[in-house]
Amino acid sequence: MRTRPLKVALLGCGVVGSEVARIMTTHADDLAARIGAPVELTGVAVRRPSKIREGIDPALVTTDATALVKRGDIDVVVEVIGGIEPARSLITTAFEHGASVVSANKALLAQDGAALHAAAEEHGRDLYYEAAVAGAIPLIRPLRESLAGDKINRVMGIVNGTTNFILDKMDSTGAGYQEALDEATALGYAEADPTADVEGFDAAAKAAILAGIAFHTRVRLDDVYREGMNEVTSADFASAKAMGCTIKLLAICERAADGGSVTARVHPAMIPLSHPLASVRGAYNAVFVESDAAGQLMFYGPGAGGAPTASAVLGDLVAVCRNKLSGATGPGDSAYTQLPVSSMGEVVTRYHISLDVADKPGVLAQVATVFAEHGVSIDTVRQQGRQDGSGDASLVVVTHRASDASLNGTVEALRSLDTVRGVASIMRVEGE
């Protein structure tokens, strides 16, 4: 074993960063044995240096992150500060000054992953980011390495624990959206401002990363269709249960049937109870992968939190340090296919549409005609009169597979019918 330590700089010492530092200290001997050399925490860049950080020598703490990554003797920089800047500049500066980088920054990688990979390659450094997508779940490395010889056709998963906790509560207890969100906030699963989670921004960044790796093409955050879950209601769950389904916020990355394009999207969807993702409860994450040779695979585990995310960071740190000792670098960016990313309008799936209609003869025929005129085939129909004396009924239509564009045209035409009082909800049905 080499006795001279590999030097590590830590950018950020919050929930994840403090766990990374703790594990590096408490598991130092094991890490050294696995790597083939000791690892030494050489500096910790923070915004508030006066804060007491248990187990971290105050002499290591600095507010000058740029000076830390420019030192020239740093072997690996671990970036867990998040956001676009200054993280982007610090990472590229680290490459320029001889360090490889381990990051958990999903937003930055989804936006500028190609440029960061190019900078890493230019300087002969590693860029690893297992922790950016699903916390402790090994996912990036299996897609990038274990399945490198296979053709991946679809990646579909629950990649945000906050939203899964909320939807699971709505499903299991009958709670409304706001009630479930309030409980998630009280338990620490949701931030004070939950927008990034419930509006799907967090999941969309992860979908961009997954699609790029799975399909060997450039997929940026702007390419991902995003739809939040704050309009999901108890009535939607009742409809889902009637179909033998539940509702999940899904990140879905697909290769077109002809192989000529890909899509990436995030939205709520009904999913059959028989599908493995339907049983993912609480704040857990799971990702379902479909490929030509391996078939169907599912990766499951805690997708957030200090210790689980730090576990993924440390796994990357070990891999990068081993590469450093051997004078090699690991797999870099693979975007040789350069496939176009199709718009959401071209996505084909099933739909569940709930309509408020006049309860009188001929309404169903009118509705069916509109679907037929727009080329959307109906699978099942369920109509139920109301007991409130309004003279209206609830009409639920489940389609066969149709494009998003054709479904949108159908809905607009339905709204123009005098007998249709309103469109109560529209939800995609996935996971057949």
Residues annotated as catalytic are 206
Q: What are phi and psi of 21, to 5 degrees?
A: -65, -40
**Cβ 311 vs Cβ 234: under 8 Å:** no
> How many other CB atoms are found less than 10 A from the CB of residue 138?
15
Q: Strands, DSSP E only, in 3-160? A: 6-11, 39-45, 61-62, 76-79, 100-103, 127-128, 152-158
> How many other CB atoms are found less than 10 A from the CB of residue 221?
22
DSSP letters spanning 195-263: HHHHTSHHHHHHHHHHHHHHHTS---GGGSEE--STT--HHHHHHHHHTTEEEEEEEEEEE-TTSS-EE
Q: What does the buried/exposed string (b/e) look like for 243-278 if buried means 16 or more CB atoms within 10 Å of the residue's CB? A: bebbbbbbbbbbbbeeeebbbbbbbbbbbbeebebb
Cα–Cα distances in Å, from 226 out to 236, 249, 315?
Answer: 19, 10, 30
Q: What are phi and psi of 407, to 5 degrees?
A: -65, -40
